[in-house]
Structure 1
């Protein structure tokens, strides 16, 4: 599929069935949008937040910027595994594992090195996934929360981007993630944006994307 200067290749991975590819629609499938072309720099799995693709422009912009730096970017529509368009805060705890398993059907198909870039809920999922898969070379966490059960996890190099005025996922989560990684002798960088709330403003996005590109170049 081509939209303007975007190249999107939509595929389906069967949730709970390894890396099987479905030729057409499937009841329990997860669609994946691909941005860019195969590249030697590696692949990046981009994970949206609790708003899903109801605000698709934000995630497509990020995917295009990362793809423009020479990476293949995959955007799994992991909410399809639970039939959601958005995540209700009251259901995140109960559905977190199902979403993680749906994304693993996509990461399981990857060959070679790859990174995870997650926003809010997607950031938490990225950390949880990286703790289980040693092939993940880097994580970029945009204002995500610290998922439980990672106290002794060995995480790959991680970049944390968060606003200090975030009322949805308090910036204390950024500090907790950083301390956890350092306590396990991991590599972590963080940048806290003064006065920024959840999602960051348009004024901060260019800097956040530039930091993401630089971090991926260094570690992927």
Structure 2
């Protein structure tokens, strides 16, 4: 009897021990399984500061990149009291033109005034602050200014691309024709103001279009392809550049001065110390007044009495040693690099 009780007690203890071990094993297994299940759930939750990336469905087109928002030039246009003339048509496309008319008390007896086409750079008009104030300053001195939206006439997306030079030039030639036909414009007194890409076109047009009587080039240069084909004439030309321009190096202004010297063309050059591809502060104000004064002298009624003495105002050496001059084909580096960077959005929207 005693042996039977001992056996029973032993079996009971063994049962409890085994049961305890099973319970511990099951609990541990549950904890492990719970941890494994929690890991994907935790990794699936993005951080609060991050957005979960949406996986595109097979066969769907990738979303188009959001274009950079262009600043409105409406404020600057209104401040300059520019009128939209609705422009002209080319190949079924309308090219807008904003005009700031010359002060009426400064018009000639025939009611007509000199005219200047204002050409923007590779980024378009931007907020207009680099163009409409210049147009207004010209109008206040009796010169009607035409701000030409010449990109309107280019159907391609990358409107500032180097290979579209001739396409843009064709639009600008039409713009000159449009301006010369206006009843309030003297077609014998037309000039072009161009900034950056607009400066390249102003110089190119001045070299081959006899209707252009004066050119102001701001931080641009003579296009390399035009120079390669040969430049045989240039009207009076004003060159304005910054010595820290990283987009169109100041060397290009010196190259242009040498070219104009060789042609015997009347010209003035002003290099602003410490200024880059966009003039600021006093340099900007000086460039506006200097441009107005230049066009006054070369498009005014007393052009036949002008002093033809050459004026050069360069803060740095005006010539480039022959040993440092680049081969003509390499001069495209500024043109093409500037336009390609502008297409990729890596340049600041200053022009």
Q: Tell me, yes or no, if the aligned pair for 1:52 and 1:85 is still in contact at 8 Å.
A: no
Q: Tell me, yes or no, if the aligned pair for 1:157 and 1:219 is still in contact at 8 Å.
A: yes
SS at match of 1:58: coil
Q: Which has the higher strand share?
A: 1
Normalised to the residue count of structure 2, the TM-score between the two structures is 0.55
Moved over 6 A (4+): none
Bigger CA drift: 95-104 or 31-40?
A: 31-40
* Rg larger in structure: 2
For 1:75, which of 136, 147, 172 is the aligned residue? 147
Normalised to the residue count of structure 1, the TM-score between the two structures is 0.86
Alignment gaps of 5+ in structure 1: 17-26
For 2:86, which of 2, 11, 15 is the aligned residue? 11
1:186 aligns with 2:265: yes
The structure, 1 or 2, with the larger RCO (C-alpha pairs under 8 Å, 6+ apart) is 1
Structure 1 residue 15, shift from structure 2 partner: 2.2
SS at match of 2:175: helix
Alignment gaps of 5+ in structure 2: 1-73, 181-186, 300-351
Aligned counterpart, 1:34: 99
For 2:138, which of 44, 54, 66 is the aligned residue? 66
Q: Structure 2 vs 1, CA of residues 84 and 47 (structure 1 numbering), >3 Å: closer, same or farther?
A: farther
Q: Which has the higher helix share?
A: 2
For 1:118, which of 171, 188, 194 is the aligned residue? 194
Mapping of residues 12-161 of structure 1, within 5 Å: 12-15=87-90, 27-37=92-102, 39-40=107-108, 41-83=113-155, 87-88=159-160, 91=161, 93-109=162-178, 110=180, 111-148=187-224, 149-150=226-227, 151-161=230-240
SS at match of 1:141: strand
Q: Tell me, yes or no, if the aligned pair for 2:118 and 2:135 is still in contact at 8 Å.
A: yes
SS at match of 2:207: helix
> Hey, what's the Cα distance between the residues in 1 that align with 2:79 and 2:234?
37
Q: Tell me, yes or no, if the aligned pair for 1:52 and 1:87 is still in contact at 8 Å.
A: no
